[in-house]
Amino acid sequence: MTLLGYDTVAASNMPTEEQIHSMLDRFRSAASPFSGSSLLSERYGDVPLLSSAWGIGHIGLPFSENGRVSVMGLQLPLPEDTTFVASLQYRVSIRLHVEQIAPTEADAAKSAESLSTLLGLLRSLQRVQQGAPSDTAVAQAMESLKIEQHKDRAVLTANIPLDLVKQLVTPITQSGVGPGASKQE
């Protein structure tokens, strides 16, 4: 007999210890973070080393319509069978790395091309609206954005300046929501 947790006991009436060892092994493997999601166990190796934050996801229902991904009526240039691996790494700036793992190389090429076109449009709009002093950090982030295709993957990378992160976080902390928020009366 052995205690597995505060509310779980493993017991066996067999003459050898093999059954108890088997129960311990199954209990340990069930407690492993890789025992649940097959997507996590399949794609965890794709997360860049030393990432401070990361996420793995697969887009499907309810976001897919007619073979494409739609969010709030906006059709994104992504096939419905898309898996993402996203990560943030702290360096001099925050490095954003998002990989779309497409079903085929052709889908990855189509996504990379569509996202590059969308990025070009955003950059054009950003150039037209330049002028405000706070736009420097946004301009740096926009200029660092890159979209490339690597076999069956469309990869987006960007370096987000810490000034931009501070600008985005300041309204949250001043409103009294989030970590470091001070209550104003």
21-56: per-residue pLDDT in tens?
A: 888 887 777 666 555 567 888 888 999 988 999 999
DSSP string, the chain: -EEEETTEEE---SSSSHHHHHHHHHHHHHHSTTSS-HHHHHHGGGSPTT-SEEEEEEE-TTSEETTEEEETTEEEEEESSEEEEEEEEESSSEEEEEEEE-SSHHHHHHHHHHHHHHHHHHHHHHHHTBTBTTHHHHHHHHHH-EEEEETTEEEEEEEE-HHHHHHHHHHHHHTT-STT-----
Contact 145, 135 (CB under 8 A): no
pLDDT band of 96, cuts 50, 70, 90:
very high
Instruction: Decide: 93 and 161 in contact? Cβ < 8 Å.
Output: yes
Greater model confidence, 66 or 56: 56
Asked if pLDDT for residue 112 goes beyond 70, the answer is yes
Residue-averaged pLDDT of the chain:
80
The residue whose two tokens read 């501070």 is 166
Going by pLDDT thresholds of 50, 70 and 90, the confidence category of residue 185 is: very low
Q: What is the pLDDT of residue 103?
A: 85
More confidently predicted of 73 and 184: 73
Contact 137, 99 (CB under 8 A): no
